[in-house]
Chains A and B, each alone.
Chain A
Amino acid sequence: MSSAPGYPYDRELLRQNLKTLDQVPGVSKPDPILTADNVVRRFGGMTAVDVDHLEVQRGAITALIGPNGAGKTTFFNLVTGFDRPNGGSGSPAASWSFNGQTFNRPSATKVARSGMIRTFQLTKALTKMTVLENMLIGAANQPGENLFVGLVKPLWAKRERENIERAEELLKRFKLDAKRDDMAGGLSGGQKKLLEMARALMSNPSMIMLDEPMAGVNPALTQSLLAHIEQLRGEGTTVLFVEHDMHMVRHISDWVVVMAQGRIIAEGLPEDVMTSPAVVDAYLGAHHDRDLGDDDVMNTAMIRTIEAAVEQEAKEEAE
């Protein structure tokens, strides 16, 4: 898993493939990198996540959207091992497979080692370490992280040099090279997001999971972040991201998964899924807060559908 899988990527071809799929929840993909089954998480009496089946297409950018409280981040946490699914009482136990490995209540460490690296909604830059140190800690292949090897510098110095080179390359790409020796705590919010993404790439993950990469990012940086994500896909890394910003979703994703009240209620191409009645219902049901409040976010088709639904409701009430 040490290098990118080199998936023969052609966006058009991939889109063609995806277009042929049924746009229903849980649809199987031609080449899934991640398959999740029966992932359930309850807090007290509330079911936060209840996903029967989900496949994520290899090499694609998949967006996970949904109204506030839909369980997106919880689902993220479950898949990456940061939270544990509830043992289904009566229902089959949760399991998911990633890149040929099957997991059943894995630890976050194990998930990350298998090549699925995540970032956090609130950045977790190691603020009292330098930017370079942050990067180096992201590398997965440093034998010096073993206690006994670490004591003898010659055993790890060569790998360290290689890692520094790679880190510098990535930092340059993310325009952080000038900050190399600064404390990560001194970076701006957007720069921290970039650093976190760059750090995640240090281990050449086959899939990267971004939790709201745009949240709190200065608009000037948004464009470059988008470009970075597309570049990742260009290099064959699968991307799954949670996002509120519909503009971004429409702009870069190849496939969209919609969650509401813990369940996946729709899946499909970005241009189609927004107008599906289930999605509109979900958002209206959630009082279409800021997710759809922005005009730019909604396409005309969607507005028409919503208007139709509202009229319908008004009529029903009148009767």
Chain B
Amino acid sequence: MDFWTDLLQAILQTALSPITAAFVIAAIGLNIHFGFTGLMNIGQAGFMLVGGYGFVISVMYGVPLFLALLISVLASAAFALLLGIPTVKLRGDYLAIVTIGAAEILRMTARLANLTPFTGGPSGIQSPRFREQLNALSPLPEGRTSFLGLEYVNTGVDDWWTRILAWGLVAIFLVFTWLLIRSPWGRVLKGIREDEEAVRSLGKSPFSYKLQALIIGGVMGGFGGILMSLPAAINPDGMGRATTFNLWMIMLLGGAATILGPLLGSILFFVLRLVITSVASEYIPGHVLSAQQAEILAWILIGLMLMLLVIFRPQGILGNKKELAFNV
């Protein structure tokens, strides 16, 4: 019985975790790329890395908080332009190849030993080293708070303040996306996803719209990167291709081209993973399946699910098959 109450507790903890929120935001960005515009970005982790390190390094160099945020946003936007300008006029797979390559190269760069003074190398940078300004903004009183059986420091490292910020940002980005998608701008985006030529023949520039979408989604990825670094540390391997593939799973699971898909997908994804790994480690003895093997097995499952989702239910849970277009 104890195992199950603990599990429930852990589920709640996971569902509210700032990491989950970070994935929601990055997945919203990816959804703007792929779901709404049809851009194959398989390097969203690269955007997270650019945005995250842009923020963290700026703060470490003493830049004021909001200026650091601006730098982070500009860095993500510049990354989007760098990858987008050569590719978005071409077939969809070119963007895919360039994004996945660039994301991996960025990760390798961030973990270079020579760059340790800036990036912290492979082990990254612990969050207490860049959270000071952020914590100073916290309106919460000192101390600890217990809520729904979860207890954290009010303001510290893995704290309530980060959770409030993270889920507040999720709410803001959800509303922002909703505003964008219901607008005529969003309509043009959907048109481009369906048939670029048609939209071009009506006097809109798909190139410009695609770049705008790439920038917006990329900046959201950047915010995801910042949030992900707040609870513990920023580190390059946390923003590798595994993260990108998780984001794809989240987006496709929840439903590409839906507003709430990334939110649902993210919570569901993490909770499911948690349940599977806890149940597995509880009931399958360690000598049959070591923790590391379980992790690998989880990845095999993720890959399989990605394939099956795309083949049999490309619209995900919330999506409407009639409205989702998969075009190259």
A contacting B, Cβ–Cβ less than 8 Å:
yes
Query: Which residues of A line the B interface, CB within 8 A?
Result: 80, 82, 107-109, 112-113, 117-120, 124-129, 133, 136-138, 140, 142, 144-147, 149-151, 153, 156, 160, 183, 185, 199-200, 202-203
Q: Does B151 contact A (CB under 8 A)?
A: no
- Check A150 against B185 for contact (C-beta < 8 Å): yes
- Check B202 against A160 for contact (C-beta < 8 Å): no
Which residue of B has the minimal Cβ distance to A114? B203
- Check A142 against B184 for contact (C-beta < 8 Å): yes
A residues within 8 A CB of B323?
128
Assembled-state Cα–Cα distance A54/B189 (Å):
36
Q: Which of B2-10, B192-200, B289-297 contacts A (4 or more CB under 8 A)?
A: B192-200
- Check A136 against B184 for contact (C-beta < 8 Å): yes
- Check B197 against A82 for contact (C-beta < 8 Å): yes
- Check B322 against A112 for contact (C-beta < 8 Å): no
- Check A108 against B187 for contact (C-beta < 8 Å): no
Assembled-state Cα–Cα distance A120/B179 (Å):
32
B residues within 8 A CB of A125?
198
Interface size class of B (residues with CB under 8 A): 20 to 34
Q: Does B122 contact A (CB under 8 A)?
A: no
- Check A117 against B322 for contact (C-beta < 8 Å): no
Q: Does B183 contact A (CB under 8 A)?
A: yes
Q: Does B81 contact A (CB under 8 A)?
A: no
What are 19 A-B pairs with beta-carbon distances under 8 A? Answer: A107-B200, A107-B205, A124-B198, A125-B198, A126-B190, A127-B194, A128-B322, A133-B190, A136-B184, A138-B202, A140-B203, A144-B183, A145-B188, A146-B185, A147-B180, A150-B184, A160-B184, A185-B322, A202-B202
B88 to chain A, nearest CB (A): 14
A197 to chain B, nearest CB (A): 12
Assembled-state Cα–Cα distance A14/B16 (Å):
74
| B213-239 Cβ-contact flags toward A at 8 Å (1 or 0) | 000100000000000000000000000
Assembled-state Cα–Cα distance A203/B324 (Å):
27
B316 to chain A, nearest CB (A): 16
B residues within 8 A CB of A199?
202
Which residue of B has the minimal Cβ distance to A160? B184
A85 to chain B, nearest CB (A): 17
Which residue of B has the minimal Cβ distance to A151? B179
Which residue of A has the minimal Cβ distance to B327? A128
Q: Does B121 contact A (CB under 8 A)?
A: no
Assembled-state Cα–Cα distance A120/B191 (Å):
16
- Check B188 against A137 for contact (C-beta < 8 Å): yes
B residues within 8 A CB of A120?
197-198, 201
Q: Does B325 contact A (CB under 8 A)?
A: yes
Q: A133-B187, A150-B186, A183-B322 are in contact. Are A126 and B197 (CB under 8 A)?
A: no
Q: Does B204 contact A (CB under 8 A)?
A: yes
Name the 5 nearest CB pairs between A and B, nearest first. Answer: A150-B183, A112-B203, A150-B185, A144-B184, A124-B198
Q: Does B127 contact A (CB under 8 A)?
A: no
> Which residue of B176, B180, B204, B325 is within 8 Å of A109 (Cβ)?
B204
Which residue of B has the minimal Cβ distance to A119? B201
| B139-169 Cβ-contact flags toward A at 8 Å (1 or 0) | 0000000000000000000000000000000
Q: Does B212 contact A (CB under 8 A)?
A: yes
Assembled-state Cα–Cα distance A129/B176 (Å):
22
Assembled-state Cα–Cα distance A136/B187 (Å):
9
> Which residue of A107, A117, A124, A145 is within 8 Å of B185 (Cβ)?
A145
The residue among A112, A133, A140 with the most chain B CB atoms within 10 A of its own CB is: A112
- Check B201 against A203 for contact (C-beta < 8 Å): no
Assembled-state Cα–Cα distance A124/B192 (Å):
12
B230 to chain A, nearest CB (A): 27
The residue among A128, A149, A199 with the most chain B CB atoms within 10 A of its own CB is: A128
Which residue of A has the minimal Cβ distance to B324? A128
A residues within 8 A CB of B200?
82, 107-109, 112
The residue among B176, B183, B216 with the most chain A CB atoms within 10 A of its own CB is: B183
Which residue of A has the minimal Cβ distance to B213? A147
Which residue of A has the minimal Cβ distance to B323? A128
- Check B203 against A113 for contact (C-beta < 8 Å): yes
B172 to chain A, nearest CB (A): 12
Assembled-state Cα–Cα distance A128/B321 (Å):
9
> Which residue of A119, A156, A203 is within 8 Å of B203 (Cβ)?
A203
A283 to chain B, nearest CB (A): 30
With A125-B198, A126-B195, A137-B202 already in contact, 7 other A-B pairs whose C-beta atoms are closer than 8 Å: A80-B201, A108-B200, A117-B201, A124-B198, A145-B185, A145-B204, A151-B180
> Which residue of B183, B197, B199, B325 is within 8 Å of A137 (Cβ)?
B199
Assembled-state Cα–Cα distance A80/B200 (Å):
10
A residues within 8 A CB of B183?
144, 150-151, 153, 156
A residues within 8 A CB of B194?
126-129
A residues within 8 A CB of B325?
128
B residues within 8 A CB of A149?
185
B residues within 8 A CB of A183?
322
Assembled-state Cα–Cα distance A61/B63 (Å):
65
B residues within 8 A CB of A119?
201
B residues within 8 A CB of A150?
179-180, 183-186
B181 to chain A, nearest CB (A): 9
Assembled-state Cα–Cα distance A183/B321 (Å):
12
Assembled-state Cα–Cα distance A125/B195 (Å):
8
- Check A156 against B202 for contact (C-beta < 8 Å): no
Q: A109-B200, A137-B202, A151-B179 are in contact. Are A124 and B184 (CB under 8 A)?
A: no
Assembled-state Cα–Cα distance A142/B191 (Å):
15
